[in-house]
Structure 1
Amino acid sequence: MNKCVAFAALALSASMACANGLDTLETFLKSTKSGRADFTQVVTPPAKAGQTTVRSKTSTGQFSFMRPTRFRFDYLKPFPQVIVADGQTLWLYDADLEQVTARKQAQALGSTPAALVATAADLSALQKEFSLEAQADADGLQWVQATPKNRESTIQSVRIGLRTDGAQVSLSKLEIFDAMGQRSVLSFERFEVNPANFGAAQFNFALPKGVSVIRQ
């Protein structure tokens, strides 16, 4: 194979990979109306001057969502914490601080990782908030990188790793890089696509007794 033909073959292969990655994300957004999974989150801060090693923090819990306006993260270990979007309000409950923060959901989401996987209805809706670029397949997953269009976003970029099983697509990883250089990787296991007996009531947030509430 001469160099020109080889280059053309590589270019074609790359373009096919890009199309596949974006097509897979489109399939996920359109076909997965709800879902739930266990997750592990590993947060790694940026190295400071002179540091040779950086200590990461690991959390575990459960994630669920129902398009187009509801999702929740229930952190179980090492500290209980709940993040719930009920369609109107985004609630953040920190059990250790005995404190709840409430924000209007429409203002709080926008260019966030939750908008990528839980609230967007299709690719065109997602592209209003993010620039999307398919990346090479790796680790048995198809990858898409999303960069917020809002320059004031606290998120620098998000990599979405999707797993295909026949016609079904599930979320496997999110790699989040924030504006301060922190990296957060969420790995999802036992992902259920459109689970039965799943309703909006599961995303209601009941204020625990005795907590202080901060409304923003």
Structure 2
Amino acid sequence: MQPLFKGLAAVGVALLMPLVVKADEQAASRLTQLLEPLETYSADFEQQILDSGGARLQSASGTMWLSRPGKFRWEVDEPYEQVVVSDGDQVYLYDPDLAQVTVQPLDTRVTHTPALLLSGSADALAESYEVTRRQQGTRETFRLTPKSPDTLFEQLQLVFDSEQLAGLRMDDSTGQQTAIGFDAIEHNRQIDPAKFEFEIPDDVDVIRESR
């Protein structure tokens, strides 16, 4: 799904010391507790793609909207316009510069579509991932390692600040990292259902892919 999919004294010391919880039901349960009440989510985002040495390969910014179950919209404004929309059944990738729309069925496997971690079922987390949790002050970082080798990434991190999703990071098998930070966040606000509909423009090439 392109780089887009391709997201941080005794009391004082305790606040500065990260708390590590081993991969178990406790970490997955806490992540589910944070995600389950999330019905809608919207934010501005900044995305950085880094190579294995940490050098920046690409950056982008835009706005995103999510609605459970399975609906999302990502609009990349800079440096190149791009729109990705899921209506819950199909995913549309629109590239205005290429005058091209790619349409494919929504892959409901959360290990292939990280956005479904937010717009899909939180109950699937423990089944699909080994989950660990680290906390420092109000910031909680969850590291998700897919249990299946058939995945698009080797590791995913979700960062919450004061129980609000603040960012995510994906690492692939080449060592490349995609880091996304969120700002101007709104959750559980009403979102116009039209945000998750996509009408294919006239005079564009349409590529239809099967799963």
TM range (shorter): 0.7 to 0.9
Alpha-carbon distance in 2 for matches of 1:20, 1:129: 15
Instruction: Give the CA deviation at 1:172.
Output: 0.4
- CA shift digits 1:151-187 (9 cap, x unpaired): 12121110100122xxxx3210101101222101000
| Structure of larger gyration radius | 1
Structure 2 stretches lacking a partner, 5+ long: 1-18
Instruction: Give the CA deviation at 1:21.
Output: 5.6
With 26-35 and 136-145 compared, the bigger mean Cα shift is at 136-145
Higher relative contact order (CA 8 A, sep 6+): 2
Verify the 8 A CA contact 1:44 1:184 in the aligned structure 2. Answer: yes
- CA shift digits 1:53-78 (9 cap, x unpaired): 83432100001100111011100000
- Counterparts of 1:162-201 in structure 2, within 5 Å, are 162-164=160-162, 169-196=163-190, 198-201=191-194
- CA shift digits 1:6-59 (9 cap, x unpaired): xxxxxxx6449x888645422222111001000000001235xxxxx8343210
Alpha-carbon distance in 1 for matches of 2:60, 2:170: 15
- Counterparts of 1:61-76 in structure 2, within 5 Å, are 61-76=62-77
Alpha-carbon distance in 1 for matches of 2:206, 2:40: 29
- Structure 2 equivalent of residue 103 of structure 1: 104
Alpha-carbon distance in 2 for matches of 1:88, 1:211: 21
Paired residue secondary structure (1:59): strand
Structure 1 stretches lacking a partner, 5+ long: 1-12, 48-52
CA RMSD of aligned residues (A): 2.4
Instruction: Give the CA deviation at 1:125.
Output: 1.8
Alpha-carbon distance in 2 for matches of 1:85, 1:192: 19
Instruction: Give the CA deviation at 1:108.
Output: 7.1
Verify the 8 A CA contact 1:111 1:148 in the aligned structure 2. Answer: no
Alpha-carbon distance in 2 for matches of 1:109, 1:133: 17
Q: Is 2:198 aligned against 1:214?
A: no
- Structure 1 equivalent of residue 45 of structure 2: 39
Verify the 8 A CA contact 1:112 1:155 in the aligned structure 2. Answer: no
Letter in 2 for 1:176: M
Q: Is 2:35 aligned against 1:29?
A: yes
When normalised by structure 1's length, the TM-score is 0.78
Letter in 2 for 1:117: L
Alignment length (residue pairs): 190
- Structure 1 equivalent of residue 16 of structure 2: none
Between Structure 1 and Structure 2, the one with more helix by share is 1
Letter in 1 for 2:99: E
Identity of aligned residues (%): 27
